[in-house]
Structure 1
Amino acid sequence: MMQGIAKNTRRAMRRAKRRRGTELNLVSMIDVLTVLVFFLLVNQIGVSVLGIELPGPPVASAEPPPEQQDLSVIVREGGLTLADNNAPLAEYPKTAQGYEYAALVAKLLELKQAAPDDKRISLMLEPGISYETLVSLMDAVRSDSATPGSSGAELFPQVSVGVAPDAAPTATGAQP
């Protein structure tokens, strides 16, 4: 097969073939090792990675955990409703001047004094409520600084926004 080729050319071809066979493709090896390391890190159980300790199984205790407040302000066209764990605490009807933010803030101050560590509140808006109303309400529930002559105390700075639940049916429409 190689009879028609010069002796020096045949030697050069053999050397080139040997050289190609001894080279390692490092790119593919690095790719495989990267995937392997990622797989091992993700699938390790009980090993602390980067100093993060995961909590163990919950320990049963004799006393129930204390009930946390789950405050929410439901905003409807007719007014505001302050609720805790979906139980209404107070209702503030909308007046000709707008929503009663001052009365809401006064009630929130009472609740904050009862549970000073609580920082969360949810704003549940009915469809059609204006953006300005949302911003004003967020300002009111975050701190007492929105009320004139207030102390500027922090109320509930962690605000989440959602859609208001459907209004409860009235008793006048009930059938026997």
Structure 2
Amino acid sequence: MIGRLRKARRVDAEELNITAFMNLMVVLVPFLLITAVFTQMAVKQLNLPDNSESQPLDEERRSLTLFVREDALTLEDKAGSVRNWPRQEDTDFAFEAVNRVLAEIKNAEPGEDSITLMIEPGIPYQTVIAAMDAVHYLPAAGDGVLVDMFPRISVGEATPMEQAP
């Protein structure tokens, strides 16, 4: 009896046949790499202010400027004309109206391609991106194609309304 147990223990373990598994991996890995969608990030080119030397306020205001404040959107053009879109309670900003006015300005001055966004502190990031999209792109009618209006966007910090002159 003891002899039988010793014989049973001496039986060598069989090798695992992993050939089928390796064949599967050889086919599966390239397939997954080819069909994988890699992350694509949209990049917006911005012109940020230079800290070394501050420009006078009059020179800065000569360009087209959109102020994004907590309670309203304000658009100032080169001539000094000011347009206001107050924010209604529990609604988002009127970026569609701003986009329409900017399209009119772009039609009047097709060579103009720069705008300055002055963002009040505390404005949510999503609102800043929506403002950039509203000034940069004009949705074309029907086909969903976006047309560049003002691709050169400069960003600055707007003074809070209490401190504004």
Q: Which residue of 1 aligns with 2:48?
A: none
**Number of equivalent positions:** 103
Displacement of 1:140 in angstroms is 1.0
- 1:132 pairs with one of 123, 126, 129: 126
Does the CA contact (< 8 Å) of 2:66 and 2:116 recur in 1?
yes
Which of residues 114, 137, 141 is equivalent to 1:120? Answer: 114
Q: Which blocks of at least 5 consecutive residues in structure 2 are unaligned? A: 1-61
Deviation at 1:123, TM superposition (A): 0.4
Q: Is the contact between residue 102 and residue 147 of structure 1 (CA under 8 Å) also seen in structure 2?
A: no
Q: Contact 1:73/1:81 (CA < 8 Å) preserved in 2?
A: yes
Q: Deviations over 1:76-128 (max 9, x none)?
A: 11010001248342111112321001100000001001100110001001110
TM superposition outliers: structure 1 runs of 4+ over 4 Å: 146-151
* Shift in alpha-carbon separation, 1:132–1:118, aligned structure 2, 3 A: same
Secondary structure, aligned partner of 1:118: coil
CA distance in 1, matches of 2:77, 2:152: 16
Tell whether 2:139 aligns with 1:145: yes
TM-score by length of 2: 0.54
Name the Cα RMSD after superposition.
3.0
Q: TM-score under structure 1 normalisation?
A: 0.51
Larger radius of gyration: 1
Q: Which residue of 1 aligns with 2:80?
A: 87
Q: Partner letter of residue 80 of structure 2?
A: A
Q: Which runs of 5+ in 1 are unaligned?
A: 1-68, 171-176
Distance 1:140 1:166, change over 3 A: same
* Of 99, 108, 112, the match for 1:105: 99
